[in-house]
Structure 1
Amino acid sequence: MKLSAFLCSIFSGLLLWLAWPTMPFTPLVFIGLTPLLYLTEKIQHRGKYFGWIFFSFLVWNVGSTWWVGNTTVPASGVFANSFNALLMSIPWLAYKNTRRRLPETMSYFALIVYWLTFELIHQTWELSWPWLVLGNAFAMRPGWIQWYQFTGASGGTLWVLLANITIYQVWKRSRIHDFTWAQLFRSEIWKPAAVILLPLLCSVFLRPTPDDPARKIGVVVVQPNIDPYDEKFTPSSTMQQIEKFIRLSESQADSNTRYIVWPETALFPNGAWEHQLNYQPEVQAIRRMLQRFPKARVVTGAVTMKQYGSTGEIPASARRMEDGTSWEPFNSALQIDTSQNIQVYHKYELVPGVELTPYVRYLAFMQTLALDFGGITGSYGRTPGVTLLTNPADSVNIFPTICYESVFSDYVADGVNQGASLLMVITNDGWWGHTDGHRQHLQYARIRAIETRKWVVRSANTGISAVIDPAGNLDQPQPYWQEAAFKATVTSRPEQTFYVRNGDLLSKGAVIFCILLLVHAFISRFIPGLRHAENNS
């Protein structure tokens, strides 16, 4: 049994890795969890069971996201992959325990509930890492998931779990009843086939509504290709970097341009005070450029800093200067035009351990422990800025997700629910080099386009910059690690999808059922009649 457990464990991890973007074997995700279902039935010792489940998820995490350790602190990747594999094991431990109390069908339902609840929690707490949400497996197959406009990525998670459970049940019954191939196809195969094919069939008939020609706008996307390690955060090169941005922008902008989009931390990589932004030489240089294109606006990433007065609420994450003044740095997005009004959006979904020390309000002494990736060290602030970058003249509202934020389905949907008609992703994916990290990040933006039915304009410092239409199709993806600029036409789309209006109903429902299952588990300890013998077949 030990050898078969090892093979099942590693086989499951390898299948999930091979199914993950940007690997081409997406359909393997429909069987990637079946070896774990087998282990759940066959291994009775909880410690051994946990070990094999954890090992399987570790293989998946390392195979798919090993690149998180491709930084100045490689140990961070070891911790991230191990910790995430540990968290993924918890729903399966709960499922194993539930099989002792509930019938088999109900225990499968419990597994779905536990996993959906886990994924929701993993997107909302300060140790969030939704990169491996099961529904993200289909990012490279937008034609399969047009129905995400109703369910979001959690619908894909449900699809994966149902397919694995159904396929495993077919395999299990075929062994018990010794079906012939004819009997198997006639009485069993239709079940997993229906689970897999029905969502695909729905996608054939679901497409975004046509764009309104009157709402089309011209954009210019800039990919400067500035090395984040050796160049970007060097103070002496600041104005040279701005000159590069302006040169690339002017090479593509024209009278039809309404937005020029620059990547994350393009401005002030070492910080600038928000109350002094209009006086910064970088902003003045941008406004001189915009005099040639007065209808255009620049949307750009920046590192900004905010001072807090002696009155009013000061965030627990704020720092203090020597004179006692409280302040915070922010990973920001700015909208700059020819007026003196600069709109400032603050990134909220921060990368744990890089931009955020989790629960720093309780562990203030750890404030400076966030990894140093240049510029401001320590945690960034999470105090809200503006929600949307507004442009009344063109009837456009932009939700400017910064880097990691574009991975969060609910967060993006909430922003669109505030009235966004266009999505922008500004990012710097150069930290992890030429790995799957930047490619996966690009693919996930395609899911956000489908969920919200919005155009996505993506500017990445080292790539891959692109435009994505509301059906999730890529347009003009630029080569990685190359300087580039291109123009595109997108559409401001004010309509909202079911998912945007109502949120993640599947996960919210799962949380309710998870609570009920936990209450049942607690009560069953005292009422033996509620217990159900585990099926050990």
Structure 2
Amino acid sequence: MRKNILLAVFSGLLLWIAWPPTPYTTFLLFAGLVPMLMAIENVINSNSAKKGRLVFATTFIGFFVWNSLCIYWVYNSLKTIGPVVAIPITLVPYSLGPLLMAGACWLYYRIRLVAPRGLSLIALVCFWIGYEYLHQSWDLNFPWMTLGNGFAVSHKWIQWYEYTGVYGGTIWIWAVNIILFLIYAGLHEAQNKTLRLKLVSSFVLVLLAPLSFSLYRYYTYQEQAAPSNVVVVQPNIDPYTKFNVPAYEEVSTLTHLSDSLGKPNTEFFIWPETAIAEDVNEDSFFSTPQYNQVKQFLSKFKNGNIITGISTYKLYNDAHTLTAKPMGQSNQFYDVFNTAVNIENSSKLQFYHKSKLVPGAELMPFGSALSFLKPVFEHLGGSTGGYGSQAEADVFYSQSGIGAAPVICYETIWGNWVAQSVRKGAQFIAIITNDGWWENTSGKDQHLDYAKLRAIENRRWVCRSANTGISGFINQRGDVVQQSGWWVRTALKQDINLNSDLTFYTRHGDYLPYAGCILAVLGILWVIVGLMRKVS
């Protein structure tokens, strides 16, 4: 048992060392799961009467090490409430992913009882993809540790994400690890030379073919010239005090930074998430001082647009949304939104409501079932009753017809969600975020790195405005062309190339996890039938 736990922990450490933002160690992803597979195999071949429990416990420990070391920064957003409360709450994101990962491994063990190892390993990949898709789809969503995200710092290796998205990376990692595991297992089994040669050949092919294609694609890819001048602003306002700063002062800072770089041909100024932090009624935004400040600034730029984050609410005469809350003693209801708005040199306003909400801070998971945690979530800076959202991704269109995909913070890690905006006509991606909650940790760097994946999947420039994180520009190959420093008040400008072509992934979205989930369900049914037969 001790040996297997050490193998699992070693696996977790390898995956952590390979994970962004650590450079030059990404290659360890191709071997990081081998010790875990060895540990599972040892349990399966043991004489224990509780093999299933041992597989689950062993793999959970290894994946917990990997997850907690990679996302240790989650604690930083909670520590203001004190360690007594913060530590147990932090254990939820640290543990939930590993529980699902261990569940996939337990299903693999159950399949091994009734199927050959090769078929069972294919089933393992399907179970894993099923877990990843579940973890981006339910109320406790947190797809930060999706395996395919691990290549974010080595984006030259995965230019083919324009065909597969990050799930192609997940499959690639598992395929290489499984072949290495089979080669290792063959050294201790009566494996004939022909099979061993086939496995070694498969390893070389599976590793090098995608890598070679990607490098070729990277160095031959040419952007079509369709320039647009964009300015991103990083006001660097402390996220823990920004809601106490008068909105007038915030907007003055933002317009000053924008004006320092704006040119007559600048078409977009991008400000960060909740840059206008004062709650605004969307229906009366036209009459607010902040709106008039912005319009006065935009008067200098004929084709100028400002995409900014803003806290908004809407009033209703009835509770016609699941998140609507009663407004005092009146008969009205209201929804609060984490919003992006596009303001231009006309009376037109375009609003987008953040839809991929952070569990706890912005979304009460499973409705009233966890309502007792509201006092804790108040310290996360969110709406404890739950933010409102919208059902579909959106596009902001300028007067000149340029389409921008508004992406707010956490939404950066949903490839298919961003692709929806691109399918609707977005020619570049505008990410607005506030990463200061995590302070100067690797969380802010990972968040920037993950944006590279969205650029490659859709072949779109990413323009990123972060309040206290890292702002910058990423081209269609995933290169960070410009970036700001951490905790620096600044603005950056860049001529980006717009793109209207759709990649295969943009058109078809998450087709790989859909197929993987179908196969995973069939595998689970197989396991259930096997258990029922065992009982009978």
Partner of 1:193 in structure 2?
A: 204
2:96 maps to which residue? 83
Question: Counterpart of 1:3?
Answer: 2
Of 514-523 and 295-304, deviating more is 514-523
Matching residue of 1:36: 36
Partner Cα separation in structure 2 for residue 395 and residue 164 of structure 1? 47
- Secondary structure class of the residue paired with 1:370: helix
Distance 1:505 1:194 in 2: 24
After superposition, the CA RMSD in angstroms is 2.2
> Corresponding residue for 2:457?
451
Question: Cα offset for 1:283?
Answer: 1.1
The one-letter code sitting in structure 2 at the alignment partner of 1:287 is K
Residue aligned with 1:463, SS: coil
**Pairing of 1:256-405 with structure 2 (within 5 A):** 256-267=265-276, 269-310=277-318, 314-322=320-328, 323-360=330-367, 370-374=377-381, 376-384=383-391, 387-391=394-398, 393-405=399-411
Q: Check the 8 A contact 2:337/2:388 in 1, yes or no.
A: yes
Contact 1:136–1:153 (CA under 8 A) maintained in structure 2: yes
The amino acid of 1:262's aligned partner reads: W
CA distance in 1: counterparts of 2:393 and 2:370, whole angstroms: 28
Q: 1:104 to 1:114 in 2, by over 3 A?
A: same
1:199-257 deviation per Cα after TM superposition (whole angstroms, max 9, x unaligned): 101113324863333x310001101111101x31104x322221111110000001110
CA–CA distance in 2 between the matches of 1:499 and 1:122? 20
For 1:385 and 1:502, how far apart are their aligned partners in 2? 16
Determine if the alignment matches structure 1 residue 205 to structure 2 residue 220: no
- Which residue, 183, 206, 221 being the options, matches 1:170? 183
How many residues get paired?
A: 518
Shift of the alpha carbon at 1:494? 1.1
How many angstroms does 1:275 deviate by? Answer: 0.7
| Alignment partner, residue 533 of structure 1 | none
**Which residue of 407, 428, 432 maps to 1:426?**
432
**CA distance in 2: counterparts of 1:228 and 1:441, whole angstroms:** 17
Give how far 1:518 is off: 2.4
Question: 1:365, CA displacement in angstroms?
Answer: 7.2
1:505-532: CA deviation from partner (whole Å, max 9, x where unpaired)? 211111111122223233345668xxxx
- Aligned-pair identity in percent equals 36
Number of the residue aligned with 1:227: 238
Other structure's SS at 1:36 match: helix
Task: Provide the secondary structure at the position in 2 that maps to 1:35.
Answer: helix
Q: Give distance in 1, aligned partners of 2:288 and 2:204.
A: 61
CA deviations over 1:317-340 (Å, ceiling 9, x no partner) = 111112121101000001011222
More displaced 10-residue stretch of structure 1: 84-93 or 396-405: 84-93
CA deviation vs aligned residue, 1:337-358 (integer Å, no higher than 9, x gap):
1222211000000011111111
Distance 1:205 1:283 in 2: 48
Q: Is the 8 A contact 1:271 1:376 kept in 2?
A: no
- CA–CA separation in structure 1 for the residues paired with 2:368 and 2:302: 44
For normalisation by structure 2, the TM-score amounts to 0.92
Aligned with 1:140: secondary structure?
helix
TM-aligned CA distance change 1:329 to 1:28, over 3 Å? same
For residues 433 and 484 of structure 1, what CA distance do their matches in structure 2 show? 18
- For the 8 Å contact 1:388–1:420, the answer to whether it is kept is yes
CA distance in 2 between partners of 1:484 and 1:85 (Å): 39
Q: Match of 1:54, SS?
A: helix
AA at the equivalent of 1:211? E
Counterpart of 1:461 in structure 2 is: 467
- What is the distance in 2 between the residues matched to 1:294 and 1:489? 17
State how 1:429-444 maps to structure 2 within 5 Å. 429-444=435-450
State the Cα distance separating 1:186 from its structure 2 match: 5.8
Structure 1 stretch displaced more, 288-297 or 413-422: 413-422
Q: Secondary structure at the match of 1:327?
A: strand
Aligned-partner residue type, residue 395 of structure 2? L
The answer for the alignment partner of 1:122 in structure 2 is 135
Question: 2:325, 2:203 → 1: CA distance?
Answer: 56
The 1-side partners of 2:76 and 2:369 are apart by 30
Cα separation, partners in 2 of 1:524 and 1:86, compared to 1, 3 Å: closer
Question: Is 2:21 aligned against 1:22?
Answer: yes
> Structure 2: how far apart are the matches of 1:371 and 1:8?
40
TM-score, with length taken from structure 1: 0.92
In 2: Cα distance, 1:480 partner to 1:410 partner: 29
